[in-house]
């Protein structure tokens, strides 16, 4: 079983072709700009939309521990009293103003939902399923089993990871994942510690390992955030690091503010709500520099079945590898 907080259909930015993205809860990082803050914690959470609330008070009546109350005709959540294992009161909401984020689902349940869009995957050439989060490899066993079921139906499989997990988690899913999309925010350890709450040593080691071992199954992408990783030559450092590591596929993504309402729904402040994304011209200039270093800004075109079989066999030799 896996803790899933969203299944998003018809995505065109999370791998080649049209894809369904399975978002899993739990992350090894805590990025302050994260577009999916509901994916950071591994347990169930409650999202609240005041715009949908009709102040009916049904949730107040159902609450057992004073999690919610009416104050001056407005609903107020006491999040410190919310227990992830006791969220029945949330279901009393008739408008969806209150919503539980993160429910346990089996690999079979998720696969059945993914397969509903099989005609679109085929029509787009190499569409399929992408596991994202949070950090999906925190739930590596679930990812591996679900990906295996999807591959039985001929689907292309991908995983979006920050690579800040033990290498054994990457190896565990390697038999059933066709593409690893790794996020790299900076090569500067201080930037990681300050804004992501973690060292970047494991991420860099894992990216080097994957680039050396199997560059055709690795694509690295960097979110570009003004004031965070676009200063002091950090972009140039990332390009040089990845080129030296042997990465063949690398792209940059502009920061966006689409997750702002999620922070409000979780009762959290969002420090980047007014930050402007980098310009299109800036992004294209950086992509030009990436190409000048010999890397493609596209996704890998895919592997032949023979090459895949070769890689599977080689990966099995490394099942006991550790870097933690």
- The answer as to whether 83 is a domain residue is yes
pLDDT at 316: 42
CATH code of the domain in which 64 resides:
3.30.70.20
Residue 323 lies in a domain: no
With contact defined as beta carbons under 8 Å apart, do 114 and 22 qualify? yes
Residue 110 shares a structural domain with residue 213: yes
- Say whether both 58 and 138 belong to one domain: no
**Same domain (yes/no): 196, 90:** no
pLDDT at residue number 72? 87
Same domain, 87 and 203: no
In a domain, 157, yes or no: yes
| 298 φ, ψ (degrees, to nearest 5) | -100, 170
The reply to whether 18 falls in a domain is yes
Q: For the chain, give the percent of residues with pLDDT over 70.
A: 93
Clarify whether residues 53 and 184 are in a common domain.
no
Q: The CATH number of the domain where 282 resides is what?
A: 3.20.20.70
pLDDT tens-digit readout, 149-190: 999 999 999 999 999 999 999 999 999 999 999 999 999 999
Q: Are residues 227 and 290 in the same domain?
A: yes
- Residue 79 belongs to domain spanning: 45-101
Q: How confident is the model at residue 319 (pLDDT cuts 50, 70, 90)?
A: very low
pLDDT tens-digit readout, 232-265: 899 999 999 999 999 999 999 998 888 899 999 9
Residue 64 is assigned to a structural domain of this protein: yes
Q: Would residue 324 count as lying in a domain? A: no
Residues 96 and 181 placed together within one structural domain of the fold: no
Closest CA to 40 of 138, 145, 120, 172: 138
The rounded radius of gyration (Å) of the Cα atoms in the chain is 21
Q: How many domains are there within the chain?
A: 2
Angle at alpha carbon of residue 239, lines to 234 and 240, rounded to 5°: 95
Evaluate whether residue 193 is within a structural domain: yes
């Amino acid at each position: 079983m896996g803790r899933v907080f969203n299944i998003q259909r018809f995505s065109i930015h999370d791998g080649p072709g049209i894809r369904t993205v399975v978002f899993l809860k739990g992350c090894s990082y805590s990025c302050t700009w994260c577009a999916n803050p509901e994916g950071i914690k591994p347990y169930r959470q409650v999202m609240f939309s005041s715009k949908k609330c009709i102040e009916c008070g049904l949730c107040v009546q159902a609450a057992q521990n004073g999690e919610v109350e009416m104050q001056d005709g407005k609903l107020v959540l006491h999040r410190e009293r919310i227990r992830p294992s006791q969220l029945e009161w949330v279901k009393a909401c008739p408008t969806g103003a209150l919503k539980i984020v993160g429910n346990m689902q089996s690999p079979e349940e998720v696969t059945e939902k993914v397969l509903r869009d099989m005609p679109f995957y085929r029509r787009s050439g190499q569409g399929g399923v992408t596991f994202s989060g949070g950090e999906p490899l925190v739930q590596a066993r679930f990812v591996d089993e679900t990906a295996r079921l999807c591959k039985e139906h001929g689907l292309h499989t991908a995983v979006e990871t920050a690579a800040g997990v033990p290498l054994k988690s990457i190896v565990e899913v390697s038999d059933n994942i066709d593409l690893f999309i790794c996020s790299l925010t900076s090569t500067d350890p201080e930037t990681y510690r300050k804004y992501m709450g973690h060292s970047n040593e494991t991420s860099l080691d894992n990216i080097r390992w994957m680039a050396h071992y199997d560059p055709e199954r690795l694509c690295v992408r960097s979110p570009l955030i003004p004031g965070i990783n676009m200063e002091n030559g950090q972009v140039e450092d990332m390009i040089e690091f990845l080129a030296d590591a042997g990465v063949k596929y690398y792209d940059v993504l502009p920061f966006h503010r689409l997750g702002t309402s999620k922070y409000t729904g979780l009762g959290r402040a969002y420090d980047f709500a007014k930050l402007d994304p980098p310009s299109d011209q800036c992004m294209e200039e950086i992509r030009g520099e990436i190409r000048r270093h010999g890397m493609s800004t596209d996704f890998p075109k895919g592997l032949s079945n023979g090459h895949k079989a070769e890689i599977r066999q080689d990966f099995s030799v490394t099942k006991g590898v550790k870097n933690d």
